[in-house]
């Protein structure tokens, strides 16, 4: 009886050790080449236009971020697709207005795309890092070089928080034309900031 | 002419409040309808900055005016029937309520519409609500109902003042004049 019990205990102990080792391996495994995808429920892409130098906040309700890391967990590709028609400025009149020709011209250019394959490492600490993505933003049919600074913070092995902020000049993309072009009332600088939850495809 | 009111006469500060508010309201009402009728343009936004600036000025004036009124003697009622005096009191009360309700509902429309504004291009007006489409519609309705109510009461108010002055030849208008 005693011998069997000891055997059982040994088996349990071995099992416990294996579990710990397995958990540790899962927790500490280096990040492999991975594809990341934004999780829309936990992601926000905001912008702030301005009137009389006071901010008018808005957001894009539909957008997606795709991100690829190599075996060293460094970014190799970033693609952001934004449904321009989903722009929401908290007011139906604004939302209708900004779809028009003078503003986003949604009828002809419904999607804005940012792509980057060139990443500058600003700082790095294990899996967390701050980068600047040098890429191209295609908006309202106009392509411009844009640098997007962002932070990459691991929440767990397959979830990451991606945050950043930049300023765009709306006149670079012909947004706000005709009598709106001067920027006297509606400022030319538009602040854009994002808080995106990225999920890893490989689990 | 005294600063304070007497039982016979309005004091000059009360008169100043009355006539400046009257002047601003006479600009404000057509300006509001005009702004509303315009197609969205930078000009429309400018007109709305004026409308909001003057509206907040009315709100400020009315609050100070009410405080001054509370602390002051009110000239005796002009002789008339009990019904006339009651109607005069009701109209006066309604005008005070509307002079508060109009700027407040307008402020709410502006806030719920997520529209910031610098009064007279100088003073940022804080928002009293977040963006809210339903609240914006409700406040717009209230604003509109209030302005029509104010127009009706103002017509009555001016008509009554002229009636007193020209027909009854009493000092109802004179005691508010300089």
pLDDT digits (tens, 9 = 90+) for B146-174: 999 999 999 999 999 999 999 988 888 88
Any chain A CB within 8 A of the CB of B84?
no
Q: Which of A91, A179, A186 sits opposite B131 (nearest CB)?
A: A91
Map out the domains of chain B as residue ranges. 12-176
Nearest CA of chain A to the CA of B23: how many Å? 27
Same domain, A55 and A141: yes
Residue whose tokens read 């994002």: A194
Gap from A61 CA to chain B (nearest CA, Å) = 15
Pairwise CB contact (< 8 Å): A179 & B41: yes
Do A154 and A127 contact (CB within 8 A), yes or no? yes
Contact list in B for residue A185 (CB cut-off 8 A) is 42, 45-46
**Cross-chain Cβ contact B114/A51 below 8 Å:** no
Say if residue A120 is in the same domain as residue A26.
no
User: Is the distance from CB of B28 to CB of B86 less than 8 angstroms?
Assistant: no
Instruction: Determine, for residues A91 and B136 on separate chains, whether the beta-carbon distance falls below 8 Å.
Output: yes
Say how many domains are in chain A: 2
Same-domain status, A70 and A20: no
- Provide the residue range defining the domain that includes A6: 1-30
Interface list for B 7-66 with A (CB within 8 A): 40-42, 45-46, 49
Going by C-alpha positions, the residue among A148, A161, A151 that lies closest to residue A130 is A151
Query: Any chain A CB within 8 A of the CB of B93?
Result: no
| Contact yes or no for A52 and B133 at CB 8 A | no
**Same domain for A116 and A182?**
yes
Give how far Cα B73 sits from Cα of B1, B19, B21, B61, B69, Å: 15, 19, 20, 19, 7
Facing residue for A97 by CB, picked from B40, B114, B132? B40
Tell me which residue of B97, B98, B117 sits closest to B107, measured CA to CA: B117
Same domain, A114 and A133: yes
Q: Are residues A107 and A188 in the same domain?
A: yes
ipTM of the complex: 0.83
Residues A143 and A122 in one domain: yes
| pLDDT confidence of residue A1 | 47
Whether residue A39 sits in one domain with residue A21: no
- In this predicted structure, what is the pLDDT of residue A160? 95
Task: Count CA atoms within 13 Å of residue B97 on its CB side.
Answer: 11
Q: What is the pLDDT along chain B (178 residues), one digit of tens a residue?
A: 788 888 888 899 999 999 999 999 999 999 999 999 999 999 999 999 999 999 999 999 999 999 999 988 888 888 889 998 899 899 999 999 999 999 999 999 999 999 999 999 999 999 999 999 999 999 999 999 999 999 999 999 999 999 999 998 888 888 888 8
Please tell me if residue B126 touches chain A, with a CB cutoff of 8 Å. Answer: no
- On whether both A86 and A18 belong to a single domain, the answer is no
At residue A43, the pLDDT reads 97
Residues in chain A predicted with pLDDT less than 70, given as ranges, are 1-8, 11, 18, 20-32, 202-203
Q: Does B108 touch chain A (CB under 8 A)?
A: no
Please indicate whether, in this complex, the C-beta atoms of B133 and A180 are within 8 angstroms of each other. no
Task: Measure CB to CB from residue A90 to each of B117, B124, B131 and give the nearest one.
Answer: B131
Instruction: Count chain A–chain B contacts defined by CB atoms under 8 A.
Output: 48
Beta bridge partners of A183: none
What residues of A are in contact with residue B38 (Cβ under 8 Å)?
A: none
User: What are the chain B neighbours of A57 within 8 Å (beta carbons)?
Assistant: 114
CB-nearest to B133 from A92, A97, A185 is: A92
Closest CA to A180 of A17, A88, A50: A50
Chain B residues closer than 8 Å to A56 by CB:
114-116
Domain B12-176 in CATH 1.10.1060? The answer is no
Same-domain status, A61 and A6: no
Residue A46 sits in a domain whose CATH number is 2.40.128.110
Average pLDDT, chain B: 94
Nearest to A54 among B118, B131, B136 (CB): B118
- One domain, residues A127 and A101: yes
If asked whether residues A17 and A116 sit together in one domain, one would say: no
Q: Residues in chain B, how many?
A: 178
């Amino acid at each position: 009886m005693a011998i069997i019990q000891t055997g059982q205990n040994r088996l349990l102990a071995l099992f416990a050790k294996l579990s710990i080792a397995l958990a540790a391996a899962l927790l500490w495994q280096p990040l492999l080449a991975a594809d990341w995808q934004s999780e829309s429920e936990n992601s926000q892409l905001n912008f702030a236009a301005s009137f009389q130098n006071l901010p008018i906040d808005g957001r894009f309700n539909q957008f997606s971020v795709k991100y690829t890391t190599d075996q060293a967990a460094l970014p190799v590709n970033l693609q952001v697709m934004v449904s321009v028609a989903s722009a929401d400025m908290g007011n139906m009149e604004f939302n209708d207005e900004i779809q028009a020709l003078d503003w986003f011209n949604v009828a002809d250019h419904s999607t804005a795309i940012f792509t980057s394959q060139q990443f500058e490492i600003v700082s790095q600490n294990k899996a967390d890092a701050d980068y600047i993505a040098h890429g191209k933003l295609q908006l309202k049919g106009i392509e411009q070089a844009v640098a997007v600074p962002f932070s990459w913070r691991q929440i767990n092995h397959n979830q990451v928080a991606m945050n950043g902020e930049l300023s765009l000049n709306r006149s670079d993309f012909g947004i706000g034309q005709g009598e709106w072009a001067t920027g006297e009332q509606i400022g030319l600088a538009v602040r854009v900031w994002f808080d995106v939850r990225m999920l890893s495809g490989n689990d | 002419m005294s600063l304070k009111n007497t039982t016979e006469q309005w004091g000059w500060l009360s008169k100043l409040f009355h006539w400046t508010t009257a002047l601003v309201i006479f600009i404000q009402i057509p300006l509001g309808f005009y702004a509303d009728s315009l197609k969205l343009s930078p000009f429309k936004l400018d007109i709305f900055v004026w409308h909001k600036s003057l509206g907040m000025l009315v709100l400020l004036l009315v609050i100070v005016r009410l405080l001054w009124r509370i602390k002051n003697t009110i000239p005796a009622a002009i002789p008339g029937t009990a019904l006339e005096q009651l109607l005069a009191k009701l109209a006066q009360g309604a005008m005070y309520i509307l002079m508060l309700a109009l700027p407040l509902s307008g402020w709410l429309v502006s806030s719920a519409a997520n529209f910031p504004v610098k009064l007279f291009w100088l003073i940022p007006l804080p928002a009293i609500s977040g963006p809210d489409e339903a609240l914006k519609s409700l406040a717009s309705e209230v604003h509109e109902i209030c302005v029509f109510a104010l127009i009706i009461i103002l017509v009555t108010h001016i008509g009554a003042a002229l009636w007193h002055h020209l027909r009854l030849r009493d000092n109802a208008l004179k005691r508010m004049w300089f």
